[in-house]
Structure 1
């Protein structure tokens, strides 16, 4: 901001910003004091509702650079040639904590990426884990209620957390991730990111593919033990946000290698488990990682509220050549995220500087609403029209793919390995003895806080179904803590 006289919000010069006008020396304050009224009224309205989930976060701008030919799989222009760069904005976050919560906690991390492409903004709204606790969006409000503060106690309660997880066996895989060594990242720079869901790519020929995104940190994985995290959270609640900002200020730009797993669309129906199930990963032996690019963060926001708090991401923001899958969690998020942003930030949130297209212009018939800036002038606001306004392209963003089970039924067709415990057990058996020890210690420490024996037993039984040794060791560890 340029130096010069202080002014009101409407540009009038301010004579005195130290004391308000009064009716004589020591008299009552006058309502005619324009500056006083403006400052107090503005202050009362400076905050917007915080996100219901992912409230605590940090972000940065950067670039995505294509490193391999992706055109056999998608017609998205930002992936159209090797070496092509696209500006991005990435917001990291925790899930359960509020805006003032500490960074160094055991919680999944949001990994939300906005690509400012020449065909419009593409949002990839993922996490730092490849799976999630539930597979159907109808359970999402219930799940989040268990992670938030209890209506009676005002605190997060182990009873609620483990009661829901024990009654929702599909959560076993994600809980094994969460309580393992990667459950508390040392920083946002030292963790991987995932699109988590299955998405659709389609190429110029109209061929369709199912894909999963992987962002592998080039800084290496670094994590915190529960004990170290407790110390850090108390000493520096802003540890992760500070680390990201200061690393960029030093010119140590964090990078990730970006890869995808690619499944030809026709293989989905006969795959051994439902490939659209968010509680499952695709084994790399079946669908190996295919590198497509490099992500670098190299510019900090200048105003956290304007650019991080008011940033919005929606899984519904696709570009030509990329679309959704029948993943029930993803389908629910297609509605829920945009709805949340329209409530929280406003109907014109997409036109804020951090959210609006940077490599093209929005050319819609949307008008009016709070904070509308009149950018369309007097142009007609309907289509079709005969005055030269924007018109439809007649080509869908993605190609329609017949998928088994798209009948409107509530039940997804079963695949051979649609089982809630196989992959959780596989993950456990992949761990070293030391990793298993820490996993058991973390889980036991949490489950031991449950007040009802049936809730604890049900939770432990899910881990036993994943692996007999897993459940046996966990039960012994919980019993030892309760002795």
Structure 2
């Protein structure tokens, strides 16, 4: 069943509420004469039209979203004091935005690209944003490299196109990307729909309980629809025939009552384990193998309501990893630390300083109480209340209880690389992933990679890229080298 349109009865008005006498003809100086500047309806309509778009996201511009419900299925109070996770059966309203990473707002959905997974929980203690991807790892481990990485994925400033030279030059010189690139060019690199893929928090986060005990966690959202993917040929055809394929699929599934759902799991690591774990647990290019920390089911996520206006609710939706609630906090993950600033800053630029006051972004189960005032689109909600703290006029005051537990730090300040643990390398988990694949999956992975690497213009860039996969697994590198040579002639 389609979403019913909201119909307002009565006469058409201007933005200020005055009735409109004629919406078909602009005012002129006589019949056939020039248009008059006093026709304020014409000027208002044209000025509004010119401003109907805000800057698109630099990354994750192409997106779709839906509202839903998260339901707790396991008692996790031994690990976190977050109220929305406090008891089995508790439900929390959510909004989930899916996206591609590199494409512009008008790009096709069926492309080889990670999918963004931005989930907002409207909890009674404020909004909690979990911002991840459909992969458990990422290309880089330090946010200082993120602008450079994205520049290689977007349009070259000279050619205006994505360039294979840029992509593979950066990946070849950044061997930490080998694991994620192996994911991306495997079968799961092009999901058949948003409903048929997993989601991940990707980063490591902190949970803390009432006793202030700390645990490190990773989130997994396992699709209940089953994993379905597209081959490169299928995706090429679908992207041309229906660029909106994934957005359409999600909307129509919800319209017909076929609500997509995901089983929510977490991996939990006691804080004391982190220092001596075989991999750096805060390295975004690594996973925690399930045999070390088995996933524990904690809930169910269901999407069951479409937005009524894509611009207002999908494009103006804002997410920040810095939006935590009591019992949940950040980890020393260097990529996460950078995103704590970058996401909020991006939305303050795009949507404005009061973006969090918009209906899709503001808390639904509680009230935001701040001393911030004014700025673009400020709605005057505070009226005559004082705008400072502390004050003796009954205004909001601090709780004296941090949302998360602080971490001990030692050493001198400086531009430090992330700590290396016993089994850390840029290639070991990429090799493990390759060896876990079936023969058919390996063949398609090599074919997908070779087709892209063969497009680079310089032999040294191609050779360096191949060598990263060779270090991950000898057979992987050998097959890829042969496939690239066959295509390059």
TM-score category (smaller protein): over 0.9
Q: Tell me the residue number matched to 2:58.
A: 52
What are the residue-to-residue correspondences of 1:310-459 with 2, within 5 Å?
310-402=316-408, 410-459=416-465
What residue is the counterpart of 1:167 in the other structure?
Answer: 173
Are residues 1:469 and 2:472 paired? no
Correspondence for 1:292? 298
**Alignment deviations for residues 318-363 of structure 1 (CA, whole Å, 9 cap, x no partner):** 0000000000000000000000000000000000000000000000
1:246 counterpart (252, 256, 259):
252
Shift of 1:253: 0.2
What does residue 37 of structure 1 align with? 43
Pairs within 5 Å for 1:144-155: 144-155=150-161
* Counterpart pick for 1:278 among 284, 289, 297: 284
Q: Which of 68, 78, 81 pairs up with 2:74?
A: 68
Question: C-alpha separation between the residues in 2 aligned to 1:402 and 1:480?
Answer: 54
The corresponding residue for 2:243 is 237
Aligned residues: 483
Equivalent-residue separation in structure 2 for 1:228 and 1:411 (angstroms):
41
**How big is each residue's C-alpha offset from its partner over 1:72-130, in whole Å with a ceiling of 9 and x where there is no partner?**
00000000000000000000000000000000000000000000000000000000000
| Root-mean-square deviation (Å) | 0.9
Change beyond 3 A, Cα 1:231–1:13: same
Q: 1:16 aligns with which of 22, 38, 42?
A: 22
Q: Secondary structure at the match of 1:240?
A: helix
Q: Deviations over 1:46-72 (max 9, x none)?
A: 110000000000000000000001100
Inter-CA distance 408–86: structure 2 relative to 1 (3 Å threshold)? farther
Q: Alpha-carbon deviation of 1:245? A: 0.2
Q: Distance in 2 between matches of 1:400 and 1:196?
A: 21
The whole-number CA distance in structure 2 between the counterparts of 1:454 and 1:308 is 43
1:103 to 81, 106, 109: 109
- Check the 8 A contact 1:62/1:87 in 2, yes or no: yes
2:4 maps to none
- The alpha carbon displacement at 1:404 in A equals 7.2
CA contact (8 A) 1:172 1:462 kept: yes
Aligned mates of 2:411, 2:176 — CA distance in 1:
20
1:406 CA drift (Å): 8.8
Deviation at 1:2, TM superposition (A): 1.6
Equivalent residue in structure 2 for 1:129, among 118, 127, 135: 135
- The 2-side partners of 1:91 and 1:391 are apart by 33
8 A Cα contact 1:214 1:259, kept in partner: yes
TM-score (norm 2): 0.98
CA displacement 1:13-56 (0-9 Å, x = unmatched): 11111110100010000111111010001111111000000000
Quick check: 1:197–1:327 contact (8 Å CA) kept in 2? yes
Is 1:303–2:309 an aligned residue pair? Answer: yes
Which of 215, 219, 231 is the matching residue for 2:221?
215
Aligned residue number for residue 186 of structure 1: 192
Paired with 2:176 and 2:419, the residues of 1 have a C-alpha distance of 16
Corresponding residue for 1:199?
A: 205
Q: Does 1:87 align with 2:87?
A: no
Q: Distance in 2 between matches of 1:377 and 1:82?
A: 40
Superposed displacement of residue 3, structure 1? 2.1
TM-score (structure 1 length as normaliser)? 0.99
Structure 1 distance, partners of 2:340, 2:418, is: 19
The runs of 5 or more residues in structure 2 that have no matched partner are 1-6
8 A Cα contact 1:265 1:401, kept in partner: no
| Counterpart in the other structure of 1:177 | 183
Per-residue CA deviation, residues 166-198 of structure 1 (Å, 9 max, x unaligned), is 000000000000000000000000000000000
**1:414 to partner: Cα distance:** 1.9
Q: Provide the rounded CA distance (Å) in 2 between the counterparts of 1:445 and 1:45.
A: 41
- Measured after TM superposition, the shift of residue 403 of structure 1 is 5.7
What secondary structure sits across from 1:146 in the alignment?
helix
- Give the distance between the partners of 1:403 and 1:173, measured in 2 at CA: 29
Provide the C-alpha distance between the structure 1 equivalents of 2:423 and 2:58, rounded to a whole number of angstroms: 34
Structure 1 residues 298-307 or 266-275, which shifts more?
266-275
